[in-house]
Structure 1
Amino acid sequence: MRVAIIGANGQLGSDLVKVFQGGNVVPLTHSDIEITNPAQTDSVLRNIRPDVVINTAAFHRVEDCETEYARAFEVNGIGAANLARSLEKLGAVLVHISTDYVFDGKKRNPYLEDDPPNPLNTYGLTKLVGEYYIRNLCSRHYIIRTSGLYGLARCRAKGGNFIDTMLQLVKEQPELKVVDDQVLVPTYTWDLAHKIKELLTKDRINHYGICHMANSGQCSWYEFAAMIFELEGLNSANLRRVTSEEFRSKVLRPHYSVLGSKVLESMGIEPLRPWQDALRDYMAQRRQRTIL
């Protein structure tokens, strides 16, 4: 199976490259393929002739999406459409990474694959547009919705992930305000990469459509930050719970966006491990990397 990974130097992309290493993997960065350019996308993929393309590329700076709507739509919407058209012609599988932000957060139990989306912000809306294009243009597709990603490669576009931000800010500020009324599932990219590979095994590759993949359990951003501090031996007294209204973000975010999956269950695929276990492993790996 020849697998091309778009966004191969990002948080998730770099872990996907490692997980698929040893097989026929083609890492692609922005310098290799510009998904907003249909002719170039077509040409690159035609030359590679992949069996599967995993697209991790996105415009995902949530605040910037509100002011740079055209760019967000171009990357998250049109870029997805270009990939879908190209791969339909090649008869290849498209695995596209989407987000929990397609939901409005009005539920109080995990969102499943067939729950109706209703995004609150531009990022979620443009990702939903991308999903729509893929569902209508590429017959062999997986849309993987996930949430709260963090990984060892960090997020270059955001200058690091949530964990990096918390551990940097605690050095600079006597008190950190973290929202406690937005509940999600933080997800380790290493776990997600392995689960995507499992999904693509031969006996499961015909169950196309939307699939939710996130670590198990749930927490608020405050609870996530508190566990990060605990694992780093830091004083959580520096953390202060605030509401979304007090935090005064320019962007509306869902108050509840926990993802559950009946699709994985129907395929006989085990759920991802609890987010706490994943975070412990990540923090241990992060410390080891810092020492080295």
Structure 2
Amino acid sequence: MKIMIIGADGQLGCDLCKVIPKEDQIPLTIKEIDITDPQMTTAVLKQHSPEVVINTAAYHRVDDCEDNILLALKVNAYGVRNLALAAKEVGAALVSISTDYVFSGDRKKPYSEKDVPEPKSAYGISKLAGEFFARYILQKYFIVRTCGLYGVAGCMGKGGTNFVEGMIKKAKQGGVIRVVDDEFVSPTYTYDLAQALYKLIQTNRYGIHHIANSGSCSWYQFAAKIFELTGIKADLQKATGADYPTKAYRPKYSVLASRFGLRIWKDALKAYIDEKKYISKLI
């Protein structure tokens, strides 16, 4: 199976390249394909003739999306539209990575695929628009919503870092670390997500899927577990979302109900830390 990975040098893309057999991969970076250019996108897919296209490219600086709405729509919606049209032309299935931000977060029950989206940010709206483009253009599509991603490669859109690395860096700098305790998520290790994606694309279970590590926590609880597992002594204190006003609305509860049976987030975090070789006695 020829599998095109768009954003192969990114956080999720790097783990996809670890999971998918090398002989099946067509790894592409932003230098090799610009999904906002429809002619280029079609030409690249025709050149490689993939059976599956996994798109990890996105504009996901959530607050910046509020100031750059057209750019958010160009990448997250129009870009998916271009890929969907190109995939249809070459007969490929499309995997489009979406987000928990398509939901309002105004409840305390995990969101399933059957729940009606109600985004409250430009980012969430742009990602939902991308979902609709994939759905109306293609029959062979996998829309995969996930949440709170972190991976060894780090997020390119966030300077090559992620929440885990950000917490460790702050702790090493010293001082008080205040983290919100009233916003709940399903932190997800990109290696686990990559494994689930690879299994999914080998089926014909087309449609919308939620894939996230099991369980949920607040960002404060996530940070506390990071310091516990690394053995780092940090002055961690609870805060509320109201303490840190942001341009973009943050869902208070965007936990995803996933049927894929990924390990609990605490075990996934430990595996990540082991992979990064954060050994407490060396801290």
Does the TM-score normalized on the shorter chain lie above 0.5?
Answer: yes
Report the Cα offset of residue 233 of structure 1: 1.0
Match of 1:180 in 2: 181
Q: For the residues of structure 2 that align with 1:90 and 1:26, how far apart are their CA atoms? A: 15
| Superposed counterparts of 1:123-272, under 5 Å | 123-159=123-159, 160-201=161-202, 205-236=203-234, 238-261=235-258, 264=259, 270-272=260-262
Alpha-carbon distance in 1 for matches of 2:276, 2:194: 18
SS in structure 2 of the partner of residue 27 of structure 1: strand
Give how far 1:235 is off: 2.6
Contact 2:230 2:278 in 1 (8 A): no
Deviation at 1:44, TM superposition (A): 0.3
**Which residue is 2:271 aligned to?**
281
Shift of 1:231: 1.0
> Contact 2:8–2:27 at 8 Å: present in 1 too?
yes
Q: In the alignment, what sits opposite 2:56?
A: 56
Report the Cα distance in structure 2 between the residues aligned to 1:132 and 1:45, rounded to whole angstroms. Answer: 21
Q: CA deviation at 1:23?
A: 3.5
Matched residue, 1:98: 98
Quick one: distance in 1 between partners of 2:178 and 2:245? 11
Report the 3-state secondary structure (helix = DSSP H, G, I; strand = E; otherwise coil) of the residue aligned with 2:158: coil
8 Å CA contact retained: 2:97, 2:143: yes
Question: Residue 58 of structure 1 aligns to which amino acid in structure 2?
Answer: A
Match of 1:267 in 2: none
Check the 8 A contact 2:9/2:29 in 1, yes or no. Answer: yes
Are 1:177 and 1:247, in contact at CA under 8 Å, matched by a contact in 2?
A: no
Structure 2 partner of 1:28? 28
Q: Which amino acid aligns with 2:177?
A: L
Residue type of the alignment partner of 2:171? V
Q: Structure 2: give runs of 5+ residues left out of the alignment.
A: none
Please, which moves more after superposition, 22-31 or 210-219? Answer: 22-31
CA distance in 2, matches of 1:288, 1:22: 28
Amino acid at match of 2:46: R
Task: State the 1:171 CA deviation.
Answer: 2.5
Distance 1:200 1:134 in 2: 16
CA deviations over 1:214-249 (Å, ceiling 9, x no partner): 00000000000000011111234x111111011222
* Cα distance between partner residues in 2 of 1:260 and 1:52: 25
Q: Could you tell me the percent identity over the aligned residues? A: 48
Q: Distance in 1 between matches of 2:148 and 2:26?
A: 26
In the aligned structure 2, how far is the partner of 1:162 from the partner of 1:146?
Answer: 15
- The CA distance in 1 between the partners of 2:277 and 2:237, in whole Å, is 25
Greater Cα offset, 155-164 or 76-85:
155-164
Letter in 2 for 1:211: H
CA RMSD after TM alignment: 1.4
Q: State the 1:288 CA deviation.
A: 6.2
Distance 2:278 2:148 in 1: 23
3-state SS of paired residue (2:53): strand
Structure 1 stretches of 4+ with a deviation exceeding 2 A read none
The 3-state SS of whatever aligns with 1:66 is: helix
TM-score, L = length of structure 2: 0.96
C-alpha distance in structure 1 between counterparts of 2:124 and 2:248, whole Å: 11
CA distance in 2, matches of 1:162, 1:187: 11
| Distance of 2:94 and 2:207 partners within structure 1 | 10
Q: How many equivalent pairs are there?
A: 279
TM-score, normalised on structure 1? 0.93
- Aligned AA (1:121): S
**2:85 corresponds to which residue?**
85
* Deviation of 1:193 (Å): 0.3
Report the CA distance between 1:151 and its aligned residue. 0.4
